[in-house]
Amino acid sequence: MSTQTTAKRPNAFLEIIFNIAIPSLILMKLSGDEYLGTVPALIVALLFPLGYGLSDFIRNKSMNFIALLGFLSTLLTGSIGLFELDVEWLAIKEAAIPAVIGLVVLISGFWGKPLIAKVMLNPLLFNLDLIYQTLENKNKIQAFKARIQWANHLLSSTFVFSAAMNYLLAKWIVVSPAGTTEFNEQLGEMTLLSYPVIAIPSMVMLIAIMFYVVRSSMKLTGLTLDQILNGEN
């Protein structure tokens, strides 16, 4: 039996609270001069996602590529606000982060190591030994790799969608100059709307891709869902 330690999975509820809800409320409600003020409110709001990211890094002793980009995104947002840069840079930054992730996903497929295989073909969830042995017996390895490659392209397209929606959302909502109360309020509104407008549709697309991978595995191997799933957990 393996004694390998698995990193704790992030708590989705806490991620929403610390990365979206609290920062949005601070920016929208406490940016006025009668409360925290523009700059202090921006700093306090950004401390929550930064603090949560750092605590997750300390707890798991590692930070994956996407989490690192999210951490850098928060720092860039703070820099745009504190240095009062043109708000166009905010829209560019919002689009650049998912675009970079999408590009990495796409390139990984051409390198022969599609990231979707690491993300979705998890040995804790799937009986990979049985799946690959059955594929080899049926001479379907190449067909399966082609399906995974296509799924990897689909995964990359979800980040392209996120990049486009992030840019449009930023251009639509954040129109006030950085360093103003209105900028903070609009930044908070954009952060709050990003979840239903971008995150939920992206999650639906991700579930659809997962369904495609599972169906492809079942079709090519002839195995049932119960057989391809790892029943040990």
Convert the pLDDT of each residue in 133-171 to its tens digit: 999 999 999 999 999 999 999 999 999 999 999 999 999
**Distances, alpha carbon 55 to alpha carbons 63, 68, 70, 78, in Å:** 11, 13, 14, 19
Convert the pLDDT of each residue in 78-91 to its tens digit: 888 888 899 999 99
Over its C-alpha atoms, the chain yields an Rg (Å, rounded) of 21
Among residues 143, 146, 139, 138, the alpha carbon closest in space to that of 222 is found at 138
The residue behind tokens 């979800």 is 158
User: Which of 12-21, 96-105, 174-183, 191-200 shows the lowest per-residue confidence on average (mean pLDDT)?
Assistant: 12-21
Task: Give the percent of the chain with pLDDT over 90.
Answer: 48
Kindly state the average pLDDT of the residues 25-33.
84
- The pLDDT score that the predictor gives to residue 2 is 39
Residue that wins the pLDDT comparison between 193 and 57: 193
Sign of the Cα pseudo-torsion (21, 22, 24, 28, in order): positive
d(CA 219, CA 214): 9
CB 53 within 8 A of CB 194: no
Convert the pLDDT of each residue in 167-216 to its tens digit: 999 999 999 999 899 999 999 999 889 888 888 898 999 999 999 999 99
How many helices (H) and strands (E) in the chain? 11, 0
The residue behind tokens 């595995």 is 217
